[in-house]
Amino acid sequence: MVNNRLTAKIAKLEKLNARLERMHHALRASERQFRLLFEQNPQPMLVYEQATLQIVAANYVLAESYGYTKQELLSMRIVDLVPAEDVELLTAFFLTAAPTGPWIGGSDGFADRTRRHQHKDGTVIDVEVAGDSLTVAGVSCRVWAVTDITERNRAEAERMALAEQLAVELMGQNERLRAIDELKDQFVSVVSHELRTPLTAIRGYLEIVLGGEPGPVTAEQQRCLEIVDASCKQLLRVVSDLLLIGKSEAGQLALEIAEVDLSALLAECIAAAKPSADAKLIDLRLAGERAVGPIAGDYGRLSQAVANIISNAIKFTEVGHVDVRLHAELEWAVVEIADTGVGVPAGEVDHLFMPFFRASTATREAIPGVGLGLSIAKEIIDAHGGRISLKTEEGSGTSIRVALPVAVAG
Amino acid sequence: MEAVAGDQGLLVLAADDDEIVLGLVVYRLEHSGYRVIAAHDGEEALTLALARRPALAVLDVMMPGLNGYEVTRLLRSYDATRALPIILLTARAEDADSERALDAGADEYLAKPFSPEQLRSRVEALLARAA
């Protein structure tokens, strides 16, 4: 009986022993697995004792990248991994103020300090450290996962330097552009004065000579001097155009607004352009006119705009006619000036209102001009809150439409 | 009308640093019957205006030293020339120039290039108004 009981107990103990053995194996396997996870992790990692800062574990990749053997690391404290000048500050920090719980270097108030580590060979690197607290065999420890961000920081610094350099360059360029703009304004002002003064003398004396005061003028002389006068007027118009473009680009185009009778304005512009149309045997006519209310505008500027468009139409027409029409469309007074001239290629239409742009048909046919007429007309119409548009077909003419808001009573 | 002005032989001061434009002004006014004294800069214009007491002054705006605006302002500050009719010749027909001319105290302004006939009629009208 006793024997039987003993045998049963032994069997029970053996069973227990086998079970313990299995558990022990499983535990060791699990430990091996976790050790492997730490040891072979591609992320450099270490564990140190919170109280002494002594490194108690470091993985393979950390040892290799820092240039120490694992044995050496296990005899070091974490402050041995930072550059000498940071040691004092960081020792105090790690011992007293290091955060508990998970954290990432940089959010601990020591962003710059915690981001410098030193390799065995003296190389200082920038690091980002993610950490957490843990207890190993009852000892309070911390684990670090270290990422080398030297390259990232260098690239960032390079990018910042480049951006700064770019900003400086841009500022310089801006400055140069401003200087050029000022020079242009000055140029326009000087040119205008320098040209207007001699033109005053030329046209003034012409007027006196043509008036016959200094002596009689023959018919032939009269004809010649009238050509001189016409050329002067043309030159003066170019000077005025240049000035106007300069002013409108600077946003200084001032208008003297009054009530304008467009019908009278058109009649005057047609009368003024008639001689040059007649000279080319072109029929310049008021082809249609319907009553349009008065508009609020600058009579002189609007005349300049219309005169430019009519002058262009005549210049671009060899045979045929230039028709001027006036009518009302809702709240708009619409002026249309259509010619039977050479027209403009479709691809150039968008550029026609740009200063100094000359259509290829103009250069091909050697039509005189500097390319300011239409851009000036547009500036003036725009300044009146109006609209200008153009329809053209190469070979069959151009039609320009100007719409100006009709003055609303009250 | 010209004959009337001429008969009076009124003294007009003309000032411009540009000899040719000055010549034009002098020619037009002299041939319209006025006696003309010419100044070549602002200071000379001021001195002549105070010393000779002309009936009217035609001043260019852009002169070295004292410009036309400054001469006008100074002339308006002396009792002797406070009421002197002044026409300023501005370089540009810009609004700013005309406004400045009137602000400075000029009675009229003429933008270059002006017609001599235009100048003559302005002078005549201004003198008639002052009379």
Say whether B114 and A204 touch across the interface (CB within 8 A): yes
Q: Are residues A116 and A206 in the same domain?
A: no
Top mean-pLDDT range of A7-11, A253-257, A346-350, A364-368: A7-11
**Residue A291 CA from chain centroid, whole number:** 47
Residue A40, CA atoms < 13 Å, CB-side half-sphere: 6
Give the best residue of A196, A242, A257 to mutate against chain B (max B CB count within 10 A).
A196
Q: Specify the CATH number for the domain of residue A373.
A: 3.30.565.10
- Tokens at residue A341, please? 């001239």
Which residue would you say has higher pLDDT here, A338 or A342? Answer: A338
**Which of A193, A208, A256 is closest, CB to CB, to B95?**
A256
Question: Do A202 and A279 sit in the same domain of this protein?
Answer: no
Q: Which pLDDT score is estimated for A410?
A: 42
Contact between A321 and A313 (Cβ < 8 Å): no
Both A144 and A26 in one domain: the answer is yes
pLDDT in tens, A35-89: 888 888 999 999 999 889 999 999 999 999 999 999 999 999 998 998 988 888 7
Together in a domain, A164 and A277: no
| Best CA proximity match to A47, nearest among A77, A90, A15, A88 | A77
Set of chain B residues whose Cβ sits within 8 Å of the Cβ of A211: 117
How much is the ipTM here? 0.83
Domain assignment of residue A106, yes or no: yes
Task: Please state the rounded mean pLDDT for residues A241-259.
Answer: 78
What is the average pLDDT across A372-381? 89
Q: Per residue in B30-69, pLDDT tens?
A: 999 999 999 999 999 999 999 999 999 999 998 888 999 9
Q: What's the mean pLDDT when you consider all of chain A?
A: 86
Which pLDDT belongs to residue A395? 79
Tell me, yes or no, whether A12 lies in a domain: no
Q: What is the DSSP string of A2-20?
A: HHHHHHHHHHHHHHHHHHH
A339/A299 same-domain check: yes
Distance CA B91, CA A200 (A): 10
Residues of A at the B interface, defined by Cβ within 8 angstroms: 192-193, 196-201, 203-205, 207-208, 211, 213, 236, 240, 243, 247, 254, 256
Provide the CATH number for the domain around residue A113. Answer: 3.30.450.20
What mean pLDDT comes out for the span A2-21? 90
Residues A107 and A225 in one domain: no
Does residue A176 sit in the same domain as residue A303?
no
CB spacing of A247 vs B94 below 8 angstroms:
yes
Name the nearest CA neighbour of A231 among A199, A192, A274. A199
Each residue's pLDDT tens digit, A166-176? 999 999 999 99
Residue A144 and residue A53 share a domain = yes
Q: How far is the C-alpha of A326 from the C-alpha of A320, rounded, in Å?
A: 20
Q: Which domain holds residue A107?
A: 19-148
User: Which of A201, A225, A249 is the C-terminal boundary of a domain?
Assistant: A249
CATH topology assigned to domain B2-130: Rossmann fold (3.40.50)
Q: What is residue A191's predicted lDDT score, i.e. its pLDDT? A: 76
Average pLDDT (A379-388) is 92
In B, which residues are within 8 Å of A198 by CB distance? Answer: 20
A277-A279-A281-A284 Cα dihedral, nearest 10 degrees: 20
Q: Mean pLDDT across the stretch A234-253?
A: 76
CATH number at residue A174: 1.10.287
Domain boundary among A249, A266, A291: A249
> Do the domain assignments include residue A14?
no
The shortest CB-CB distance from A236 to any of B28, B96, B113 is to B113
Q: Is residue A5 part of a domain?
A: no
Q: What are the respective helix, strand and coil percentages of chain A, to the nearest 5?
A: 55, 20, 25
pLDDT band with cut points at 50, 70 and 90 for residue A202: very high
Summarised one tens digit per residue, pLDDT across range A111-151 is 434 578 999 999 999 888 888 888 888 888 888 888 898 99
CB contact under 8 A, A200 and B112: yes
Is the model's pLDDT at A96 over the cut of 80?
no
- Of A148, A173, A196, the last residue of a domain is A148
Number of domains, chain A? 3
- Picking from A245, A233, A194, A216, the residue whose alpha carbon sits closest to that of residue A355 is A245
Residue A2 belongs to a domain: no
Considering the domain architecture, whether residues A290 and A348 belong to the same structural domain is answered as yes
A121 and A160 together in one domain:
no
Query: Taking the domains of chain B in order of start, what are their residue ranges?
Result: 2-130
Question: Nearest by CB to A204, which of B91, B93, B115?
Answer: B115
pLDDT tens column, A264-320: 999 989 988 888 899 899 999 988 888 787 899 998 889 989 999 999 899 889 889
Residues A127 and A179 reside in one and the same domain: no
SS3 assignment for chain B? CHHHHHHHCCEEEEECCCHHHHHHHHHHHHCCCCEEEEECCHHHHHHHHHHHCCCEEEEECCCCCCCHHHHHHHHHHCHHHCCCCEEEEECCCCHHHHHHHHHHCCCEEEECCCCHHHHHHHHHHHHHHHC
Distance linking the first and last C-alpha atoms of chain B: 15
The per-residue pLDDT for A108 is 46
List CB contacts (< 8 A) between A205 and chain B. Answer: 24
Indicate whether A370 and A266 sit together in one domain.
yes
Which residues in A171-207 are b (16+ Cβ under 10 Å) and which e?
Answer: eeeeeeeeeeeeeeeeebeeebeebbbbbbbbbbbbb
